[in-house]
Structure 1
Amino acid sequence: MEFSLDPVTVDVLLGDDDVRELAAVCAEWAGHRGLRLHLSDDLTGWADHMRAAGAHDGLNPTFDPDCHPIAVGEGMHLLVRDESREVVACTAARLFRTRDFAALIPSLALWFDPLPDGMRGPLEAALPATVPLLSGRVGHMGGLWVDPRFRGSGLSMMLARLTRGVTLDRFDANWDTWISFGKIARNPALRAAYGAADTTLCVDGFFPPRNRHEQVYLNYATREQVLDAVREGAATLRDSLLHNTALRP
Protein backbone atom coordinates (compact mmCIF):
# COMPACT_ATOMS: atom_id res chain seq x y z
CA MET A 1 0.00 0.00 0.00
CA GLU A 2 1.22 3.51 -0.82
CA PHE A 3 0.71 6.46 1.54
CA SER A 4 1.21 10.14 0.89
CA LEU A 5 3.52 11.69 3.49
CA ASP A 6 1.78 14.82 4.74
CA PRO A 7 1.26 16.39 8.21
CA VAL A 8 -1.60 13.98 8.99
CA THR A 9 -0.09 10.70 7.78
CA VAL A 10 3.35 11.48 9.25
CA ASP A 11 1.88 11.41 12.75
CA VAL A 12 0.07 8.14 12.01
CA LEU A 13 2.87 6.29 10.23
CA LEU A 14 5.88 7.31 12.33
CA GLY A 15 6.49 7.11 16.05
CA ASP A 16 9.80 8.82 16.81
CA ASP A 17 9.53 12.59 17.31
CA ASP A 18 12.78 13.37 15.46
CA VAL A 19 11.85 11.17 12.51
CA ARG A 20 8.38 12.74 12.34
CA GLU A 21 9.96 16.20 12.35
CA LEU A 22 12.29 15.26 9.50
CA ALA A 23 9.43 13.71 7.49
CA ALA A 24 7.30 16.83 7.96
CA VAL A 25 10.04 19.21 6.85
CA CYS A 26 10.90 16.92 3.90
CA ALA A 27 7.26 17.01 2.79
CA GLU A 28 7.22 20.81 3.11
CA TRP A 29 10.53 21.19 1.25
CA ALA A 30 9.32 18.91 -1.56
CA GLY A 31 5.95 20.67 -1.74
CA HIS A 32 7.64 24.01 -2.38
CA ARG A 33 9.12 22.39 -5.49
CA GLY A 34 5.88 20.89 -6.76
CA LEU A 35 6.81 17.42 -5.51
CA ARG A 36 5.07 14.96 -3.19
CA LEU A 37 6.56 12.30 -0.92
CA HIS A 38 5.09 8.83 -0.66
CA LEU A 39 5.79 5.72 1.42
CA SER A 40 5.03 2.23 0.16
CA ASP A 41 5.28 -1.08 2.04
CA ASP A 42 5.60 -3.00 -1.24
CA LEU A 43 9.09 -3.31 -2.71
CA THR A 44 7.66 -4.73 -5.93
CA GLY A 45 6.75 -1.20 -7.00
CA TRP A 46 10.34 -0.05 -6.42
CA ALA A 47 11.74 -2.97 -8.43
CA ASP A 48 9.29 -2.42 -11.30
CA HIS A 49 10.18 1.27 -11.46
CA MET A 50 13.92 0.62 -11.40
CA ARG A 51 13.64 -1.91 -14.21
CA ALA A 52 11.91 0.70 -16.35
CA ALA A 53 14.03 3.71 -15.32
CA GLY A 54 16.97 4.91 -17.36
CA ALA A 55 20.34 6.37 -16.30
CA HIS A 56 21.04 4.18 -13.28
CA ASP A 57 23.61 1.51 -12.38
CA GLY A 58 21.18 -1.35 -12.38
CA LEU A 59 18.67 -2.85 -10.01
CA ASN A 60 20.03 -3.77 -6.57
CA PRO A 61 18.92 -7.38 -6.02
CA THR A 62 18.91 -6.90 -2.23
CA PHE A 63 15.57 -5.11 -2.53
CA ASP A 64 14.08 -7.13 -5.38
CA PRO A 65 11.37 -9.55 -4.20
CA ASP A 66 12.27 -11.76 -7.18
CA CYS A 67 15.74 -12.27 -5.64
CA HIS A 68 14.83 -12.44 -1.94
CA PRO A 69 11.95 -13.71 0.19
CA ILE A 70 11.05 -10.41 1.92
CA ALA A 71 8.45 -10.84 4.66
CA VAL A 72 5.41 -8.59 4.86
CA GLY A 73 6.26 -5.58 7.01
CA GLU A 74 10.01 -5.95 6.50
CA GLY A 75 10.45 -3.95 3.31
CA MET A 76 9.48 -0.48 2.14
CA HIS A 77 10.38 2.25 -0.29
CA LEU A 78 10.10 6.02 -0.42
CA LEU A 79 9.25 7.74 -3.67
CA VAL A 80 8.92 11.30 -4.89
CA ARG A 81 6.27 12.16 -7.47
CA ASP A 82 5.94 15.30 -9.54
CA GLU A 83 2.68 17.09 -10.33
CA SER A 84 1.87 14.56 -13.07
CA ARG A 85 2.47 11.72 -10.53
CA GLU A 86 5.58 10.58 -12.36
CA VAL A 87 8.23 9.11 -10.05
CA VAL A 88 11.29 11.37 -10.09
CA ALA A 89 13.23 9.81 -7.20
CA CYS A 90 13.07 6.77 -4.97
CA THR A 91 14.96 4.67 -2.46
CA ALA A 92 14.40 1.32 -0.76
CA ALA A 93 14.96 -0.31 2.63
CA ARG A 94 14.42 -3.60 4.37
CA LEU A 95 14.99 -5.37 7.66
CA PHE A 96 17.42 -8.23 8.23
CA ARG A 97 17.01 -10.36 11.35
CA THR A 98 20.46 -11.83 11.78
CA ARG A 99 23.06 -12.97 14.27
CA ASP A 100 25.85 -11.50 12.11
CA PHE A 101 24.99 -9.10 9.28
CA ALA A 102 28.61 -9.02 8.05
CA ALA A 103 28.42 -12.76 7.32
CA LEU A 104 25.82 -12.00 4.63
CA ILE A 105 28.55 -10.36 2.55
CA PRO A 106 30.93 -13.28 1.82
CA SER A 107 27.99 -15.67 1.45
CA LEU A 108 26.37 -13.24 -1.06
CA ALA A 109 23.12 -13.66 0.90
CA LEU A 110 22.96 -9.88 1.21
CA TRP A 111 22.22 -9.75 -2.52
CA PHE A 112 20.63 -13.10 -3.38
CA ASP A 113 18.71 -15.75 -1.45
CA PRO A 114 19.07 -18.31 -2.90
CA LEU A 115 22.04 -17.72 -5.22
CA PRO A 116 21.14 -17.73 -8.93
CA ASP A 117 22.20 -20.69 -11.02
CA GLY A 118 25.83 -20.29 -12.04
CA MET A 119 26.72 -17.80 -9.29
CA ARG A 120 29.11 -19.18 -6.73
CA GLY A 121 30.24 -18.10 -3.29
CA PRO A 122 31.86 -17.46 -0.98
CA LEU A 123 32.90 -13.95 -1.90
CA GLU A 124 36.39 -12.89 -0.81
CA ALA A 125 35.56 -10.21 1.74
CA ALA A 126 37.97 -7.67 3.21
CA LEU A 127 36.19 -6.63 6.40
CA PRO A 128 38.54 -5.57 9.21
CA ALA A 129 38.24 -7.05 12.68
CA THR A 130 37.31 -3.61 14.03
CA VAL A 131 33.78 -3.85 12.58
CA PRO A 132 31.40 -4.48 15.50
CA LEU A 133 28.98 -7.39 15.56
CA LEU A 134 25.96 -6.12 13.62
CA SER A 135 23.26 -8.38 14.96
CA GLY A 136 19.58 -8.38 15.82
CA ARG A 137 17.27 -6.14 13.82
CA VAL A 138 19.50 -4.60 11.15
CA GLY A 139 18.04 -1.99 8.82
CA HIS A 140 19.50 -1.85 5.33
CA MET A 141 18.87 0.90 2.78
CA GLY A 142 19.83 1.31 -0.86
CA GLY A 143 18.41 1.61 -4.34
CA LEU A 144 18.63 5.39 -4.34
CA TRP A 145 17.70 6.78 -7.76
CA VAL A 146 17.07 10.36 -8.87
CA ASP A 147 15.83 11.35 -12.31
CA PRO A 148 18.67 13.12 -14.19
CA ARG A 149 16.51 16.26 -14.39
CA PHE A 150 16.55 16.54 -10.58
CA ARG A 151 20.12 15.57 -9.77
CA GLY A 152 21.97 18.20 -7.78
CA SER A 153 18.70 19.50 -6.35
CA GLY A 154 19.13 18.08 -2.85
CA LEU A 155 16.78 15.13 -3.36
CA SER A 156 19.60 12.64 -2.66
CA MET A 157 20.36 14.15 0.73
CA MET A 158 16.71 14.46 1.64
CA LEU A 159 15.84 10.88 0.66
CA ALA A 160 18.96 9.35 2.22
CA ARG A 161 18.36 10.99 5.62
CA LEU A 162 14.63 10.32 5.54
CA THR A 163 15.07 6.68 4.54
CA ARG A 164 17.54 6.11 7.36
CA GLY A 165 15.14 7.63 9.86
CA VAL A 166 12.03 5.84 8.59
CA THR A 167 13.90 2.50 8.49
CA LEU A 168 14.94 2.96 12.11
CA ASP A 169 11.40 3.90 13.12
CA ARG A 170 9.22 1.46 11.20
CA PHE A 171 11.49 -1.58 11.60
CA ASP A 172 12.61 -0.79 15.17
CA ALA A 173 16.15 -1.43 13.93
CA ASN A 174 19.12 -1.34 16.27
CA TRP A 175 21.64 -0.96 13.42
CA ASP A 176 21.53 1.01 10.17
CA THR A 177 23.52 -0.17 7.14
CA TRP A 178 24.02 0.38 3.44
CA ILE A 179 26.47 -0.62 0.71
CA SER A 180 28.27 1.90 -1.47
CA PHE A 181 30.73 1.62 -4.33
CA GLY A 182 34.02 3.45 -4.65
CA LYS A 183 32.77 6.45 -6.63
CA ILE A 184 30.37 7.30 -3.80
CA ALA A 185 32.41 6.17 -0.81
CA ARG A 186 35.41 8.25 -1.91
CA ASN A 187 33.35 11.36 -2.68
CA PRO A 188 33.16 13.54 0.47
CA ALA A 189 30.05 15.42 -0.69
CA LEU A 190 28.11 12.24 -1.47
CA ARG A 191 29.16 10.60 1.79
CA ALA A 192 28.11 13.69 3.72
CA ALA A 193 24.67 13.55 2.10
CA TYR A 194 23.91 10.35 3.99
CA GLY A 195 25.02 11.70 7.37
CA ALA A 196 26.83 10.11 10.30
CA ALA A 197 28.07 6.53 9.82
CA ASP A 198 31.23 4.43 9.89
CA THR A 199 32.55 3.27 6.50
CA THR A 200 34.90 0.41 5.74
CA LEU A 201 36.04 -1.45 2.64
CA CYS A 202 34.39 -4.87 2.53
CA VAL A 203 35.16 -6.15 -0.99
CA ASP A 204 38.13 -5.39 -3.23
CA GLY A 205 38.03 -7.84 -6.10
CA PHE A 206 35.64 -9.71 -8.34
CA PHE A 207 32.06 -8.91 -7.36
CA PRO A 208 29.58 -11.49 -8.76
CA PRO A 209 26.42 -9.32 -8.55
CA ARG A 210 28.02 -6.97 -11.09
CA ASN A 211 30.24 -9.57 -12.77
CA ARG A 212 33.32 -7.35 -12.54
CA HIS A 213 35.98 -6.08 -10.16
CA GLU A 214 34.62 -3.61 -7.61
CA GLN A 215 35.60 -1.83 -4.45
CA VAL A 216 32.58 -2.21 -2.19
CA TYR A 217 32.14 -0.40 1.12
CA LEU A 218 29.97 -1.25 4.10
CA ASN A 219 28.46 1.70 5.94
CA TYR A 220 27.03 1.09 9.40
CA ALA A 221 25.62 3.22 12.19
CA THR A 222 24.09 2.95 15.64
CA ARG A 223 20.61 4.27 16.44
CA GLU A 224 22.25 7.34 17.98
CA GLN A 225 24.20 8.07 14.79
CA VAL A 226 21.04 7.74 12.71
CA LEU A 227 19.15 10.15 14.93
CA ASP A 228 22.06 12.61 14.70
CA ALA A 229 21.79 12.40 10.90
CA VAL A 230 18.00 12.82 11.13
CA ARG A 231 18.21 15.94 13.31
CA GLU A 232 20.98 17.43 11.18
CA GLY A 233 18.96 16.78 8.02
CA ALA A 234 15.87 18.46 9.45
CA ALA A 235 17.91 21.52 10.47
CA THR A 236 19.52 21.76 7.01
CA LEU A 237 16.15 21.55 5.25
CA ARG A 238 14.58 24.09 7.62
CA ASP A 239 17.42 26.48 6.86
CA SER A 240 16.96 25.91 3.13
CA LEU A 241 13.25 26.73 3.43
CA LEU A 242 13.87 29.79 5.59
CA HIS A 243 16.51 31.32 3.36
CA ASN A 244 15.35 29.79 0.04
CA THR A 245 18.79 28.30 -0.55
CA ALA A 246 19.73 25.32 -2.71
CA LEU A 247 20.86 21.94 -1.38
CA ARG A 248 23.60 19.69 -2.64
CA PRO A 249 23.88 17.01 -3.85
Structure 2
Amino acid sequence: MTGISYRRPEVRELADACAERAGRHGLSLHLTDDLQNWAGVVGAAMGADGVNPTFDPARSRIAPGSAFHLSALDESGDVAACGAGRLFVTRDFAALIESLALWFDPVPPDMAAGIELATPVPALSGRIAHVGGLWVHPRFRGSGLSLTMARLVRATALDLFDADWDTWVAFQDVAFRSTYGTATTVLCVDGFFPPRGRAERVFLSYATGDQVMDVVRDTVGYTAAV
Protein backbone atom coordinates (compact mmCIF):
# COMPACT_ATOMS: atom_id res chain seq x y z
CA MET A 1 0.00 0.00 0.00
CA THR A 2 1.35 3.41 -0.94
CA GLY A 3 1.00 6.82 0.63
CA ILE A 4 1.13 6.22 4.38
CA SER A 5 3.02 4.76 7.31
CA TYR A 6 0.57 3.77 10.05
CA ARG A 7 1.48 4.31 13.70
CA ARG A 8 -0.67 1.63 15.34
CA PRO A 9 0.52 -1.94 14.75
CA GLU A 10 -3.04 -3.29 14.52
CA VAL A 11 -3.87 -0.77 11.80
CA ARG A 12 -0.65 -1.61 9.93
CA GLU A 13 -1.64 -5.28 10.10
CA LEU A 14 -5.08 -4.49 8.68
CA ALA A 15 -3.61 -2.31 5.92
CA ASP A 16 -1.19 -5.08 4.95
CA ALA A 17 -3.99 -7.68 4.95
CA CYS A 18 -6.25 -5.44 2.85
CA ALA A 19 -3.43 -4.68 0.41
CA GLU A 20 -2.67 -8.38 0.02
CA ARG A 21 -6.32 -9.21 -0.55
CA ALA A 22 -6.70 -6.36 -3.05
CA GLY A 23 -3.63 -7.64 -4.88
CA ARG A 24 -5.31 -10.99 -5.41
CA HIS A 25 -7.98 -9.08 -7.38
CA GLY A 26 -5.37 -7.18 -9.40
CA LEU A 27 -5.81 -4.00 -7.34
CA SER A 28 -3.47 -1.74 -5.39
CA LEU A 29 -4.37 0.58 -2.51
CA HIS A 30 -3.40 4.24 -2.44
CA LEU A 31 -3.91 7.03 0.09
CA THR A 32 -3.80 10.75 -0.72
CA ASP A 33 -5.18 14.04 0.61
CA ASP A 34 -6.69 14.85 -2.82
CA LEU A 35 -10.43 14.95 -2.17
CA GLN A 36 -10.94 16.73 -5.48
CA ASN A 37 -10.05 13.43 -7.15
CA TRP A 38 -12.51 11.57 -4.90
CA ALA A 39 -15.30 14.01 -5.80
CA GLY A 40 -14.53 13.62 -9.50
CA VAL A 41 -14.65 9.83 -9.37
CA VAL A 42 -17.87 9.64 -7.35
CA GLY A 43 -19.55 12.41 -9.34
CA ALA A 44 -18.77 10.68 -12.63
CA ALA A 45 -20.06 7.36 -11.29
CA MET A 46 -23.12 8.46 -9.35
CA GLY A 47 -23.99 11.96 -10.53
CA ALA A 48 -23.99 15.13 -8.45
CA ASP A 49 -26.60 13.71 -6.04
CA GLY A 50 -24.15 10.99 -5.02
CA VAL A 51 -21.31 13.32 -4.01
CA ASN A 52 -21.40 13.85 -0.25
CA PRO A 53 -20.63 17.57 0.20
CA THR A 54 -18.77 16.83 3.45
CA PHE A 55 -15.88 15.50 1.35
CA ASP A 56 -16.25 17.80 -1.66
CA PRO A 57 -13.72 20.67 -1.67
CA ALA A 58 -16.07 22.62 -3.93
CA ARG A 59 -18.65 22.80 -1.13
CA SER A 60 -16.60 22.52 2.07
CA ARG A 61 -13.41 24.30 3.05
CA ILE A 62 -11.06 21.52 4.12
CA ALA A 63 -7.90 22.42 6.01
CA PRO A 64 -4.61 20.81 4.93
CA GLY A 65 -3.91 17.63 6.88
CA SER A 66 -7.53 17.16 7.93
CA ALA A 67 -8.79 14.83 5.20
CA PHE A 68 -7.82 11.86 3.06
CA HIS A 69 -8.98 9.76 0.12
CA LEU A 70 -8.36 5.99 0.05
CA SER A 71 -8.67 4.28 -3.33
CA ALA A 72 -8.23 0.85 -4.86
CA LEU A 73 -6.84 1.10 -8.39
CA ASP A 74 -6.87 -1.57 -11.07
CA GLU A 75 -3.93 -2.35 -13.32
CA SER A 76 -4.97 0.43 -15.71
CA GLY A 77 -5.01 2.99 -12.90
CA ASP A 78 -8.79 3.26 -12.88
CA VAL A 79 -10.59 3.51 -9.52
CA ALA A 80 -12.28 0.27 -8.48
CA ALA A 81 -13.32 1.55 -5.05
CA CYS A 82 -12.81 4.59 -2.87
CA GLY A 83 -13.72 6.19 0.42
CA ALA A 84 -12.82 9.32 2.37
CA GLY A 85 -12.30 10.66 5.88
CA ARG A 86 -12.16 14.03 7.62
CA LEU A 87 -11.26 15.41 11.02
CA PHE A 88 -13.59 17.78 12.90
CA VAL A 89 -12.37 19.34 16.13
CA THR A 90 -15.43 20.53 18.02
CA ARG A 91 -17.07 20.87 21.41
CA ASP A 92 -20.42 19.67 20.06
CA PHE A 93 -20.67 17.41 17.03
CA ALA A 94 -24.48 17.54 17.19
CA ALA A 95 -24.29 21.29 16.53
CA LEU A 96 -22.48 20.57 13.26
CA ILE A 97 -25.41 18.38 12.21
CA GLU A 98 -28.07 20.89 13.27
CA SER A 99 -26.36 23.79 11.51
CA LEU A 100 -25.52 21.65 8.42
CA ALA A 101 -21.86 22.61 8.93
CA LEU A 102 -21.08 18.89 8.80
CA TRP A 103 -21.94 19.03 5.11
CA PHE A 104 -21.17 22.59 4.05
CA ASP A 105 -18.57 25.26 4.85
CA PRO A 106 -19.84 27.87 4.42
CA VAL A 107 -23.45 26.82 4.81
CA PRO A 108 -25.45 28.14 1.80
CA PRO A 109 -27.72 31.09 2.69
CA ASP A 110 -30.86 29.16 1.75
CA MET A 111 -29.94 26.51 4.36
CA ALA A 112 -28.98 28.92 7.15
CA ALA A 113 -31.95 27.82 9.29
CA GLY A 114 -30.38 24.40 9.66
CA ILE A 115 -32.37 21.36 10.76
CA GLU A 116 -33.96 20.04 13.92
CA LEU A 117 -32.62 16.76 15.25
CA ALA A 118 -35.14 13.92 15.16
CA THR A 119 -33.76 12.35 18.35
CA PRO A 120 -31.13 13.49 20.86
CA VAL A 121 -27.57 13.00 19.65
CA PRO A 122 -24.87 12.31 22.25
CA ALA A 123 -22.55 15.18 23.13
CA LEU A 124 -19.54 14.02 21.12
CA SER A 125 -16.62 16.40 21.52
CA GLY A 126 -12.92 16.60 20.84
CA ARG A 127 -11.25 15.14 17.77
CA ILE A 128 -14.01 13.57 15.68
CA ALA A 129 -13.11 11.35 12.73
CA HIS A 130 -15.88 11.37 10.13
CA VAL A 131 -15.84 8.84 7.29
CA GLY A 132 -17.97 8.24 4.23
CA GLY A 133 -18.07 8.59 0.48
CA LEU A 134 -17.69 4.86 -0.07
CA TRP A 135 -18.09 3.77 -3.69
CA VAL A 136 -17.30 0.41 -5.31
CA HIS A 137 -17.35 -0.26 -9.05
CA PRO A 138 -20.20 -2.64 -9.97
CA ARG A 139 -17.82 -5.36 -11.17
CA PHE A 140 -16.31 -5.63 -7.69
CA ARG A 141 -19.55 -5.56 -5.70
CA GLY A 142 -20.14 -8.78 -3.81
CA SER A 143 -16.40 -9.46 -3.62
CA GLY A 144 -15.97 -8.20 -0.04
CA LEU A 145 -14.03 -5.15 -1.27
CA SER A 146 -16.62 -2.72 0.13
CA LEU A 147 -16.27 -4.23 3.61
CA THR A 148 -12.48 -4.15 3.72
CA MET A 149 -12.31 -0.65 2.21
CA ALA A 150 -14.92 0.76 4.61
CA ARG A 151 -13.16 -0.63 7.66
CA LEU A 152 -9.71 0.39 6.50
CA VAL A 153 -11.07 3.93 6.02
CA ARG A 154 -12.28 3.90 9.65
CA ALA A 155 -8.93 2.58 10.87
CA THR A 156 -7.03 5.14 8.79
CA ALA A 157 -9.07 8.02 10.18
CA LEU A 158 -8.47 6.87 13.74
CA ASP A 159 -4.74 6.46 13.14
CA LEU A 160 -4.12 9.60 11.09
CA PHE A 161 -6.17 11.95 13.25
CA ASP A 162 -5.62 10.38 16.69
CA ALA A 163 -9.38 10.68 17.01
CA ASP A 164 -11.49 10.47 20.17
CA TRP A 165 -14.57 9.39 18.20
CA ASP A 166 -15.34 7.71 14.90
CA THR A 167 -18.53 8.75 13.06
CA TRP A 168 -20.45 8.46 9.81
CA VAL A 169 -23.95 9.19 8.54
CA ALA A 170 -26.12 7.00 6.32
CA PHE A 171 -29.57 6.95 4.82
CA GLN A 172 -32.35 4.52 5.75
CA ASP A 173 -31.54 1.99 3.01
CA VAL A 174 -27.97 1.37 4.18
CA ALA A 175 -27.85 2.57 7.79
CA PHE A 176 -27.93 -0.86 9.40
CA ARG A 177 -25.72 -2.79 7.03
CA SER A 178 -22.60 -4.26 8.61
CA THR A 179 -20.19 -2.89 6.00
CA TYR A 180 -18.49 -0.40 8.32
CA GLY A 181 -18.60 -2.68 11.35
CA THR A 182 -20.08 -2.16 14.79
CA ALA A 183 -21.10 1.23 16.18
CA THR A 184 -24.02 2.85 17.97
CA THR A 185 -26.59 4.18 15.50
CA VAL A 186 -29.23 6.84 16.17
CA LEU A 187 -31.79 8.60 13.96
CA CYS A 188 -30.74 12.22 13.54
CA VAL A 189 -32.92 13.49 10.65
CA ASP A 190 -36.48 12.44 9.87
CA GLY A 191 -37.96 14.81 7.35
CA PHE A 192 -36.73 17.39 4.87
CA PHE A 193 -32.96 17.11 4.42
CA PRO A 194 -31.54 20.21 2.70
CA PRO A 195 -28.35 18.61 1.30
CA ARG A 196 -30.55 16.37 -0.86
CA GLY A 197 -33.52 18.70 -1.21
CA ARG A 198 -36.05 16.07 -0.16
CA ALA A 199 -37.33 14.11 2.83
CA GLU A 200 -34.90 11.52 4.19
CA ARG A 201 -34.28 9.42 7.26
CA VAL A 202 -30.64 10.01 8.16
CA PHE A 203 -28.78 8.04 10.81
CA LEU A 204 -25.61 8.90 12.73
CA SER A 205 -23.28 6.08 13.75
CA TYR A 206 -20.54 6.65 16.31
CA ALA A 207 -17.91 4.64 18.15
CA THR A 208 -14.99 5.14 20.51
CA GLY A 209 -11.42 4.53 19.43
CA ASP A 210 -11.36 1.27 21.39
CA GLN A 211 -14.47 0.08 19.54
CA VAL A 212 -12.84 0.88 16.20
CA MET A 213 -9.81 -1.17 17.20
CA ASP A 214 -12.10 -4.12 17.93
CA VAL A 215 -13.44 -3.78 14.39
CA VAL A 216 -9.86 -3.61 13.08
CA ARG A 217 -8.92 -6.86 14.77
CA ASP A 218 -12.11 -8.61 13.60
CA THR A 219 -11.49 -7.46 10.03
CA VAL A 220 -7.92 -8.76 10.00
CA GLY A 221 -9.38 -12.17 10.84
CA TYR A 222 -12.07 -11.85 8.18
CA THR A 223 -9.55 -10.80 5.54
CA ALA A 224 -7.29 -13.74 6.30
CA ALA A 225 -10.19 -16.19 6.07
CA VAL A 226 -11.49 -15.22 2.59
Question: TM-score, normalised to structure 2's length?
Answer: 0.95
- Deviation, structure 1 residue 117: 4.0
Distance 1:85 1:25 in 2: 21
Identity across the alignment (%): 57
Gaps of 5+ in 1: 241-249
Match in the other structure for 1:243: none
Asked if the contact 1:207–1:214 (Cα under 8 Å) also holds between the matched residues in 2, the reply is yes
Give ranges in structure 2 of 5+ residues lacking alignment.
Answer: none
C-alpha distance after superposition, 1:21-53 (max 9, x if no partner):
000000000001111111011211111222222
- Distance in 2, Cα, partners of 1:238 & 1:177: 26
- Map of 2:194 onto structure 1: 208
Instruction: Give the 3 Å change call, closer, same or farther, for CA 55–69 of structure 1 in structure 2.
Output: closer
**One-letter code aligned to 1:52:** A
How far apart are residue 55 of structure 1 and its match?
7.3
Question: Partner residue of 1:65?
Answer: 57
Aligned mates of 2:59, 2:47 — CA distance in 1: 22
Alignment of 1:151-170 (within 5 A): 151-170=141-160
CA separation of 1:126 and 1:142: change in aligned 2, threshold 3 A: same
Note the aligned Cα RMSD (angstroms).
Answer: 1.5
Aligned letter for 1:124?
E
Counterparts of 1:107-186 in structure 2 under 5 Å? 107-128=99-120, 131-186=121-176
Q: 1:86 aligns with which of 78, 90, 101?
A: 78
Query: TM-score, with normalisation over the residues of structure 1?
Result: 0.87
Whether 1:95 aligns to 2:81 is: no
Work out the number of aligned pairs and report it. Answer: 226
Distance of 2:84 and 2:131 partners within structure 1:
6
**Counterparts of 1:83 and 1:176 in 2: how far apart (Å)?**
32
In 1, Cα distance between equivalents of 2:40 and 2:48: 14
Q: CA deviation digits over 1:90-136, x for unaligned, max 9?
A: 001000010011111110111111122433422021132xx432111
